[in-house]
Amino acid sequence: MESVYSFNGSAIGFGAVLKSNGVKTVIPSLASVALAPTGGEGSAVVENYNAHGISFTRAESRVFGTDLGDGIYTTYADVYITNLTIFDKLKIALMSATISSTHNLKLNESSFDVRTIYRGLALEDAEMVPEYDLALSSAPTYNDVLRTLKGDMAGYGQRWMAKPGQLENAVREDNPLKPLGGSLVKDLKVPEHVQKHCAHGIEIPGLGRAHFGEFLFKPGRRRVSLLRLKLDGSTPAPNGFALMSGNGDEGDVTVGSVEGNGSPPM
């Protein structure tokens, strides 16, 4: 059996599960696209969405993967959303995320480049300004990510509200799974009346928490979500809906998520 390189790239504009009086309503993933294992390209667009208290002008996702020759492969995935409004409270004029990867079979590690952008971010017309973690975003390999984290363990642990020893265990060399989770948003500058949950998260009165720039990094794999909203159920959303996750917890909705990587021949 011939062994070939398998591409992996995906991008999602928006998706959620809604619950009202015990009845679930699934919103299929919008502007969702996946890269074929053999590479190539793909795209998806949704325009003028307005339902269940969430609206946006345009969500577009794109993926691309190709063989550059000489055992070098590259993937690219991006997503952007314009004029997002959530329950007439949280507004984002533009946000986008891009992940590109290069895998040289002569090297032990894939290299990545990750970019996130937010423009016109506001909570009930109170402007918020994100500060990006450029060092972590531009760390090309998994080992570079580890070195960046180890350079400021206390700072990252406090920023992400990590439990004692959690980050230290994640960066151990003998960690078999080696998942790293955090945020590429270093800080959010907010007005005094906006309450922050952590460095990259805010409280939305009557709804719950919004988290920005969350990531999951593993060797050869990177995923970034631009926005995750976790409702506390204290106030029903418009139309009587509340958001919930599939596991029954007070749930999550993701807006703008990308992943890019690939697997070498067996």
Task: Read off the pLDDT of each residue in 18-38 and give the average, rounded to a whole number.
Answer: 82
Residue 233 has pLDDT above 70, yes or no: no
**pLDDT attached to residue 244:** 36
Kindly report the backbone phi and psi dihedral angles of residue 65, in degrees, each rounded to the nearest multiple of 5, phi listed first: -150, 140
pLDDT band, very low/low/confident/very high, at 238 (cuts 50, 70, 90): very low
pLDDT band, very low/low/confident/very high, at 240 (cuts 50, 70, 90): very low
High-pLDDT (> 70) share of the chain, %: 86
Burial degree of 41 (CB within 10 A; 0-12, 13-18, 19+): middle
pLDDT band, very low/low/confident/very high, at 241 (cuts 50, 70, 90): very low
Could you tell me the sign of the dihedral formed by the alpha carbons of 124, 254, 118, 144, in that order?
positive
Mean pLDDT, the chain, rounded, equals 86
**pLDDT attached to residue 176:** 60
Assigned token pair, 240: 């009587």
Q: Where are the beta strands (DSSP E) in 105-238?
A: 111-123, 126-127, 129-132, 180-183, 185-189, 196-198, 201-204, 208-218, 221-231
**pLDDT attached to residue 1:** 47
Distance CA 84, CA 229 (A): 13
- Does residue 247 contact residue 17 with C-beta atoms inside 8 Å? no
**pLDDT attached to residue 260:** 87
